[in-house]
Amino acid sequence: MARAIVLRQLTNSPKSRLQLERKLAERNVPKDVAAAVLDRFEEVRLVDDAEFAEMWVRSRSQTRKLAKGALRRELAEKGIDGDTAASALEQLSDDDEEAAARQLVERRLRVGTDLSDRAERDKATRRLASMLARKGYQPSQAFRIVGEVLDAASGS
Q: How far apart are CA 44 and CA 30, in angstroms?
A: 22
Residue 85: domain span: 49-89
Q: Are residues 111 and 145 in the same domain?
A: yes
Q: Are residues 114 and 149 in the same domain?
A: yes
The total number of structural domains that make up the chain: 3
- Please state, as a whole number, how many other Cβ atoms lie within 10 Å of the Cβ of residue 90: 11
Closest CA to 98 of 130, 151, 146: 146
Q: State the pLDDT confidence band at 156, using cuts at 50, 70 and 90.
A: low
Q: How far apart are CA 89 and CA 86, in angstroms?
A: 5
Q: Are residues 115 and 150 in the same domain?
A: yes
Q: What is the pLDDT of residue 57?
A: 96
101-139 tens-digit pLDDT:
999 999 998 877 888 889 999 999 999 999 999 999 999
Q: Are residues 116 and 146 in the same domain?
A: yes
Q: How far apart are CA 24 and CA 103, in angstroms?
A: 40
Q: Are residues 56 and 79 in the same domain?
A: yes
- DSSP class per residue in 64-105: T---HHHHHHHHHHTT--HHHHHHHHTTS-HHHHHHHHHHHH
70-102 tens-digit pLDDT:
999 999 999 999 999 999 999 999 999 999 999
